[in-house]
Structure 1
């Protein structure tokens, strides 16, 4: 019997520090409408950007946070099937807290990718079977605080280290001293080759491959030089879609060889704790965009897919609600701006943005 279409929903960054479910339902009526969109999908993927643990001590870094492991149950109820742990926060409270996160998600049947008890577990892809389909997921992080990359005997993330260099123009310095340098960046060759090999091997085992990378910087619209290098290499190796995350803002959707690169879908849950944080951290939170989108890939039996983006924005407690009115227009304008920078054509109808892949 022929397979029917399969729908995959991918979202951006999740920082849930409060319970999401109460008395058998989502904690908020408008949030429930977003949850309904996730429940209508066959598979839901996101980036859990924090540990779920009461153990460990905070690492020496600017921002650290964690949440009660009980939130894992809420993430299941919201609809998540697979979560990436490859990011710069899931090791905020050390190895114990990371492994507690894995255990909490395991207890709810939520698969994880991109982190684990050693480099082999961290870089291992996940294969899930749904309605006769096999989908493969793999994840890496290019944001790697000291000690967070997994090793042979060390828990941590799947690493994709990046080198940066700063190119200064002598001509600019003569006529405009202090002219900002051009930032060059490139992924570490051996780690990129390992990621490429992972995707190529996964391609032979499944019907659809999704690759996730934690990358980028800032809250503007810029894409770092290394990001397309990684994304194109993963698609060349067999990935059907590349799902970026980290910058807490909507970045471009690029179309490469008929496949989508979501440089950043923005926020999905944004509940960073503010009490007791220093002014420099609060300033970062104030700059964060409240916006994001749900990316729905409607996959046909042959592997081709249609891609729709449903704009969302955070409510006053950091939960995602479907954007409407001026908030919807703000997000559509943002998408049109950032996508035009990479030559991607969009269509807008009834509050949904369709990405022209072909």
Structure 2
């Protein structure tokens, strides 16, 4: 057995404006208060940063992240897909609805994504029919899913990814919390499609997830708990989040993959295991939208943890990226410096230090 290296990303939002530049754009109509067409977000982005090509290749949006995503040394690539993959028109009236055309799923396969977490506040934007089409489309593309299903048993089951060498597996469990904006009625039932939605961050909820992990885990397996929680903006990590994440590690999780905030949050190690409280957006169509510039939602990150055979963190590289023209690019040095300052500051509050590398990446050991 040997160490494994993962690539983890935060929210991947391939719907709305991004969907419109891909080779098979869906219907652009939106049901938002201020924007009636997804083309409006494309227009805002072009006003901010210049022309964006149309009918782009499937790998266009990944840009400078592609060499990392296509690294043959990776054991798995895992993102939170915050977009329904559907042609359904039965939208849920919730203010903002994301969908991408199913024929654009090659955007995910071009990046060699192995697992899409679906326990989030946009997966059912187009109802249960939209969820069913999302699941079918991803499975046909050989992309595993976690956190949603045709019933509760499927929603709570992990994505099971084989690891090289022997019978070891990577298990990805995914759940969402109401604090991230997931409606209660989206919760999966015994005979009803939906998400793995926990009621709260109590010890009882931690025990529920722990029981799922214990039921599935075999000797040698590595376990990730992926959690969609908290609001969109702000650096404060509630004490309840820390207690819940640490409780899951105490009960068998090897890594916590958190997401929901549109920007990066601090990270920490607990008993030698990594907790990412918020990975931030990896892909979005927010260029040109004002109001939250101080958080720099244009700056994204790739997280590349290397785990030992016991699941403990051996090393972590954090690779800064910037979203520009709906594409990931290497940021300027001044932006990298800002990124490191903020991530180091927030992680220091969690007793974790980050070291900058000459390459512009960061690491902790």
TM-score range, shorter chain: 0.7 to 0.9
Q: How many angstroms apart in 1 are the aligned matches of 2:303 and 2:164?
A: 20
1:48-127, aligned counterparts within 5 Å? 48-127=81-160
- Runs (5+) with no aligned partner, structure 1: 163-186, 275-281
- Runs (5+) with no aligned partner, structure 2: 24-54
Aligned to 1:262: 276
Q: How many angstroms apart in 2 are the aligned matches of 1:64 and 1:23?
A: 23
**Worse-matched range after superposition: 346-355 or 95-104:** 346-355
SS at match of 2:343: helix
Cα gap change, 1:101/1:272 in structure 2, threshold over 3 Å: closer, same or farther? farther
Alpha-carbon shift at residue 23 of structure 1 (Å): 7.7
* Structure 1 contact 136–206 (Cα < 8 Å) conserved: no
Q: How many angstroms apart in 1 are the aligned matches of 2:287 and 2:346?
A: 29
Cα gap change, 1:332/1:273 in structure 2, threshold over 3 Å: closer, same or farther? closer
1:290-305, aligned counterparts within 5 Å? 290-304=298-312, 305=314
Q: How many angstroms apart in 2 are the aligned matches of 1:301 and 1:288?
A: 36
CA RMSD, aligned part only? 2.3
> Please, what TM-score do these two structures have when normalized by structure 2?
0.81
- Structure with bigger strand share is 1
Q: How many angstroms apart in 1 are the aligned matches of 2:328 and 2:353?
A: 26
* Structure 1 contact 35–79 (Cα < 8 Å) conserved: no
Is 1:33 matched with 2:71?
Answer: no
Q: How many angstroms apart in 2 are the aligned matches of 1:146 and 1:62?
A: 16
1:85-135 CA deviation, whole Å, 9 max, x = no partner?
000110111111011100110111000000001111100012211312411
Aligned to 2:14: 16
Q: Pick from 169, 181, 186: which aligns with 1:134?
A: 169
1:144-175 CA deviation, whole Å, 9 max, x = no partner?
2141111112111101122xxxxxxxxxxxxx
Q: Pick from 328, 331, 348: which aligns with 1:323?
A: 331
SS at match of 1:42: strand
User: Aligned residue pairs: how many?
Assistant: 320
Is 1:219 matched with 2:219?
Answer: no
Q: Pick from 341, 344, 350: which aligns with 1:342?
A: 350
SS at match of 1:96: helix
**Worse-matched range after superposition: 130-139 or 117-126:** 130-139
**Worse-matched range after superposition: 234-243 or 297-306:** 297-306
Q: How many angstroms apart in 2 are the aligned matches of 1:147 and 1:135?
A: 30
Aligned to 1:251: 265
Aligned to 1:7: 5
Cα gap change, 1:268/1:77 in structure 2, threshold over 3 Å: closer, same or farther? same
**Worse-matched range after superposition: 81-90 or 198-207:** 198-207
Q: How many angstroms apart in 1 are the aligned matches of 2:287 and 2:140?
A: 26
